[in-house]
A and B are shown apart, each in its own frame.
Chain A
Amino acid sequence: AQRVTQPEKLLSVFKGAPVELKCNYSYSGSPELFWYVQYSRQRLQLLLRHISRESIKGFTADLNKGETSFHLKKPFAQEEDSAMYYCALSGFGTYKYIFGTGTRLKVLA
């Protein structure tokens, strides 16, 4: 079954603390993984995708095929990082994007 799992609904950290948002996936083929961010009452926007291997706003994510994970990390959280984060998967040859249920990140002052 194709599935994206984000086990945490809410993650609260203090400003300056490291952040890790977990994402595990289940897919039989070769997936492409994404992280999307949604700031309060705004549209979802792409944060990063595994294929580009870049760091955006200090966030990085590494695809671990052995553990079928694509965790999002940032060494030092900022208050402006507070948002909803969605992990998503897209499969080769399909037009379907599967989203996880999202994790709300709250960065406390």
Chain B
Amino acid sequence: DAGVIQSPRHEVTEMGQEVTLRCKPISGHNSLFWYRQTMMRGLELLIYFNNNVPIDDSGMPEDRFSAKMPNASFSTLKIQPSEPRDSAVYFCASSLPNSGRDTIYFGEGSWLTVV
């Protein structure tokens, strides 16, 4: 398996533009996570899905952020409108189903810069 695949790897956009980040989890994994990594706050969980259903979105910063998982092999994280403070690395991760006692596998991240 190629692992968790994220796109784009790097994105530079202007404030106010819409940003869409994409993720393909590892085949067979039914838990998917979106994390944001910044120098100030470290690694923050934004949202996680189980069987394509959002289970906990309490980490989503505000209404400008939205996430979807239309099927088991694809998820998106959208920011609209984007702001400079959204600049961060966004990681997608997936894990195997087994009552939570599983390793979580990360993608390589999407490096977002909002100018």
Which residues on A are within 8 Å of B, measured CB to CB?
32, 34, 36, 42-46, 49, 51, 86, 88, 90-102
B103 touches A49 (CB 8 A): yes
Whether, in the assembled complex, B20 has its beta carbon less than 8 Å from a beta carbon of chain A, the answer is no
Asked whether A95 and B43 contact (CB < 8 A) given A43-B91, A45-B106, A90-B100, the answer is: no
Whether, in the assembled complex, B50 has its beta carbon less than 8 Å from a beta carbon of chain A, the answer is yes
Asked whether A99 and B100 contact (CB < 8 A) given A42-B108, A43-B91, A45-B106, the answer is: no
Closest 9 CB pairs of A and B: A101-B42, A44-B106, A99-B43, A43-B106, A94-B100, A43-B108, A95-B31, A102-B42, A90-B100
The one of B35, B91, B100, B103 that contacts A95, using a Cβ cutoff of 8 Å = B100
CA A36 – CA B43 in complex, angstroms? Answer: 12
Can you name 17 A-B pairs with beta carbons within 8 Å?
A: A34-B104, A43-B109, A44-B93, A90-B101, A90-B104, A92-B101, A94-B100, A95-B50, A96-B45, A97-B33, A97-B93, A97-B104, A99-B35, A99-B43, A100-B42, A101-B42, A102-B42
Whether, in the assembled complex, B90 has its beta carbon less than 8 Å from a beta carbon of chain A, the answer is no
Say how far A49's CB is from chain B's closest CB, in angstroms: 7
B103 touches A43 (CB 8 A): no
Name the prevailing secondary structure of the B interface residues: strand
Say how far A102's CB is from chain B's closest CB, in angstroms: 5
Max chain B C-beta neighbours (<10 A), residue from A42, A44, A45? A44
A96 touches B99 (CB 8 A): no
B108 touches A99 (CB 8 A): no
Which residues on B are within 8 Å of A, measured CB to CB?
4, 31, 33, 35, 41-43, 45, 48, 50, 55-56, 91, 93, 95, 99-109
Chain B neighbourhood of A97, CB < 8 A: 33, 45, 93, 95, 104
Say how far B103's CB is from chain A's closest CB, in angstroms: 5
CA A95 – CA B104 in complex, angstroms? Answer: 10
CA A45 – CA B109 in complex, angstroms? Answer: 12
Chain A neighbourhood of B104, CB < 8 A: 34, 46, 88, 90, 97
CA A42 – CA B101 in complex, angstroms? Answer: 24
